[in-house]
Amino acid sequence: MTDRSRDDSVEDAASVRHIPVMADEVIEAMAPRAGTTHVDTTLGGGGHAERILESSSPDGRLLGLDADGAAIARVRDRLGSRFGERLTLRQANFRELAAVAPEAGFGEVDGCLFDLGLSSFQLADEDRGFGFRTGGPLDMRFDTERGIAAAELLATLDRDELTALFRRYGEEPFAGRIARAIVETRRTVPVRTAEELAALVARVAPSRAPGRRRVHPATRVFQALRIAVNEELEALEAGLAAAVDLLRPGGRLAVLSYHSLEDRIVKRFLQAERRGCTCPPEAPVCVCGRQPRLRLLTPKGLVPSAAEVAANPRARSARLRAAERLAA
């Protein structure tokens, strides 16, 4: 099982074994060494954070963020005594990075890591409904003290709004059909649990539609709801911008994404920071004065090796993009 993943789990949280995706490639991209400071903006199970701290021994420091308080508690229990003051933990969404990092003593850093998606622990959580195999109430919030639960969205959005949500965030080809079925169903009984939603989608959407490739027909609907509930794409744009501002010259930014919506945002952001100038192509000279701030380390991105995918199928959809901060 992976530390971060887009698939589902049937294991209990207590039995979850965490394997960080593309760990060797992440360490090579981040290049941690003694005395450096890093931010893991998506702490999860702490697998990547542990590798970074090991590689930056004896005095490298790391700030670990996660919107999920349970993740913070787990990593504190597992790594706190081992790394002591070298590890700082904060419960925060990475959209808050610009404020949280300086407050925690990380005003300038040598590396920022984003490992996007769900942790295996979240997928195994029976109380929040992230995974349709594990089931549970349709909450899907990373931070259960903030925002609107997925069940409330299903209960209040009209058919057109649900259709747009499933298309935008899930790229779901049967968005309209699924939205109509939800609206018809809730007239008599609300859709409140992961099991109920998964069964409804499976009933109205073909399981072998183009592009599904042996995945449950509800996969894209669950993805769309989770992204909407947590405003993930908007948070990603804010977090990436804050990360570049925090990086020292020579510092590294590394991002692991798991689906095309995320990867598109990351790719466009890195390309824009590589170009610098935002003037239209037809302009004879640059008038914006914006200088390139990043050098791409992985122009096309890296994907897991065949050996890693064979050992850990949940890594199959990962793509790693990395860049280095320039002096500008």
Q: Are residues 33 and 111 in the same domain?
A: yes
Q: Are residues 180 and 318 in the same domain?
A: no
- Per residue in 99-128, pLDDT (tens digit) is 999 999 999 999 999 999 665 555 555 555
Residue 239 lies in a domain: yes
Q: Are residues 168 and 274 in the same domain?
A: no
For 255-266, what is the mean pLDDT? Answer: 94
Residue 127 lies in a domain: no
Q: Are residues 103 and 247 in the same domain?
A: yes
Domain count, the chain: 2
- Per residue in 196-218, pLDDT (tens digit) is 999 999 999 876 655 545 678 88
Parent domain of 195: 133-229
Torsion-angle region of 69 (φ positive above 0: left; ψ -120 to 50: alpha; else: beta): alpha
Q: How confident is the model at residue 296, as a pLDDT? A: 97
Q: Are residues 223 and 290 in the same domain?
A: no
Instruction: Compute CA 230 distance to the chain's CA centroid, rounded to the nearest angstrom.
Output: 11
Q: How confident is the model at residue 127, as a pLDDT? A: 55
Tell me the DSSP string of 179-222: HHHHHHHHTTS---BHHHHHHHHHHHS-TT-TT--S--TTHHHH
Q: How confident is the model at residue 32, as a pLDDT? A: 98
Point out the domain boundary residue: 229, 263, 278: 229
Q: How confident is the model at residue 199, as a pLDDT? A: 92
Point out the domain boundary residue: 165, 195, 229: 229
Q: Are residues 289 and 182 in the same domain?
A: no
Q: Are residues 256 and 157 in the same domain?
A: no
Residue 219, pLDDT above cutoff 50 = yes
Confidence of residue 6 (pLDDT cuts 50, 70, 90): very low
The CATH number given to whatever domain includes residue 57 is 3.40.50.150
Q: Are residues 167 and 305 in the same domain?
A: no
Residue 216 lies in a domain: yes
Q: How confident is the model at residue 244, as a pLDDT? A: 97
Residue 5, pLDDT above cutoff 50 = no
pTM: 0.85
Q: Are residues 184 and 222 in the same domain?
A: yes
- Per residue in 267-313, pLDDT (tens digit) is 999 999 998 876 677 777 676 667 899 999 999 999 999 999 998 88
Residue 11 lies in a domain: yes
For 222-236, what is the mean pLDDT? Answer: 92
Q: Which of 306, 326, 301 is nearest to 316 (CA)?
A: 306
Residue 128 lies in a domain: no
- Measured CA to CA, the distance from residue 235 to residue 123 in angstroms comes to 21
The CATH number given to whatever domain includes residue 214 is 1.10.150.170
Residue 1, pLDDT above cutoff 80 = no
Strand-pair partners of 257: 319
Residue 126 lies in a domain: no
Q: Are residues 241 and 111 in the same domain?
A: yes
Contact 42, 114 (CB under 8 A): yes
Residue 178 lies in a domain: yes
Point out the domain boundary residue: 176, 202, 229: 229
Task: Considering only residues 277 and 98, tell me which one the structure prediction assigns the higher pLDDT.
Answer: 98
Q: Are residues 113 and 255 in the same domain?
A: yes
Q: Are residues 212 and 69 in the same domain?
A: no
Mean pLDDT of the chain: 87
Residue 172, pLDDT above cutoff 80 = yes
